[in-house]
Structure 1
Amino acid sequence: MEHDEAEVDEGALSWQERALCAQTDPEAFFPEKGGSTREAKKVCLSCDVRSECLEYALGHDERFGIWGGLSERERRKLKKRAV
């Protein structure tokens, strides 16, 4: 049985419904340049889907915000080490 692309994406992104950030202020995860990432990272520490979130951000080359507990700069460093 074939799945349509939207269904596949929905299943692959179901982790987002369980993400703690979905229940908090999204502004904290997209701070102004030079702004603090501390609050967002604190939320990520106790999130059950942190690894899925980070994997998504790395796979989709997310350039803004805190994903999986890492800033864009930290994700870039992680990607460089993995190569």
Structure 2
Amino acid sequence: MTTTVQVGASAPAPAAGRRLGTWEDDALCAQTDPEAFFPETGQSSRQAKQICAACPVRTECLDYALAHRGLTGVWGGLSPHERAQLRNQP
């Protein structure tokens, strides 16, 4: 059973607000506790990254996150800081 996850407006869950028939339909984060993807400052994001590592749409998720700056939380297995570093690579 798939559960749609909702969190605060400033930090939408990766699968929130999705359209049917998109890569988000297969995202493991939609079936998981959203708290793992939005750790408090100083808390580990290890659990979210483990889920992302097994996700069949991790690449699509990361592509989306790289194209949409300002997203909070773990997307495609990377934190906001890690995504910024990736964008800044030559």
Aligned residue number for residue 71 of structure 1: 79
Q: State the aligned residue count.
A: 73
Q: After TM superposition, give the deviation of residue 28 of structure 1 in Å.
A: 0.3
Deviations, residues 9-61 of structure 1 (Å, cap 9, x unaligned):
837x7111110011000010001111110000000001000000000001011
Cα offset for 1:63? 3.3
Aligned amino acid, residue 39 of structure 1: Q
Q: Which has the higher helix share?
A: 1
Equivalent in 10, 14, 31 of residue 19 of structure 2: 10
Q: Distance in 2 between matches of 1:34 and 1:72?
A: 14
Distance 2:23 2:62 in 1: 11
- The DSSP-based 3-state class of the residue aligned with 2:41 is coil
Q: How many angstroms apart in 2 are the aligned matches of 1:21 and 1:39? A: 11
Distance in 2, Cα, partners of 1:10 & 1:17: 8
Q: Look up the SS of the partner of 2:19 in the other structure.
A: helix
Runs of 4+ in 1 over 3 A off after TM superposition: none
Counterpart CA distance in 1 for 2:30 and 2:68 is 19
Paired residues for 1:4-83 under 5 Å: 10=19, 14-82=22-90
SS where residue 89 of structure 2 aligns? helix
Identity %: 55
Q: RMSD value over aligned CA atoms?
A: 1.7
Q: Distance in 1 between matches of 2:72 and 2:53?
A: 19
C-alpha distance in structure 2 between counterparts of 1:31 and 1:51, whole Å: 21
